[in-house]
Amino acid sequence: MTPTRAEFHVLLALMRGPRHGYGVMQDVEELSAGQLRLGPGTLYTAIKRLRASGLISECDADADRRRCYRLTRKGKSVASDEAQRLSDLVSEARKRGLLPSGT
């Protein structure tokens, strides 16, 4: 499964540990330096698909009794593959002069 941009950001946010929905939204905004802001709708449709694919799972509720999600082993593997793919793409872009080399 190739995650979408929003799904990949959710997976990245969960790399730091279990989060509830709003925590993921904050992390994604921070990760992307404010470039990507997920609304509750986009976030939970992504969560639904990621859960269905077995990339994340629900964990015990936190102190506020909110539903938390964590990355599964499969989720880590998919996130890693996607990161590698993006890294390869950036390398290729650098080779073709789209990005300055050596940065």
**Rounded to whole angstroms, how far apart are CA atoms 92 and 20?**
36
Whichever of 66 and 95 has its CB closer to another protein, that residue is 66
State the binding string over 42-81 for another protein (x if CB under 8 A, else -): xxxx-xxx----------------xx--------------
The binder of another protein chosen from 1, 15, 18, 21 (CB under 8 A): 21
Tell which residue, 57, 50, 73, 75, has the closest CA to residue 18.
57
* H or E segment and range at residue 86: helix 73-95
**Taking CB under 8 A as the rule, does residue 5 contact another protein?**
no
Q: Look-up: residue for tokens 């639904």?
A: 48
Given the rule CB under 8 A, which residues bind another protein? 20-22, 25, 37-45, 47-49, 66-67
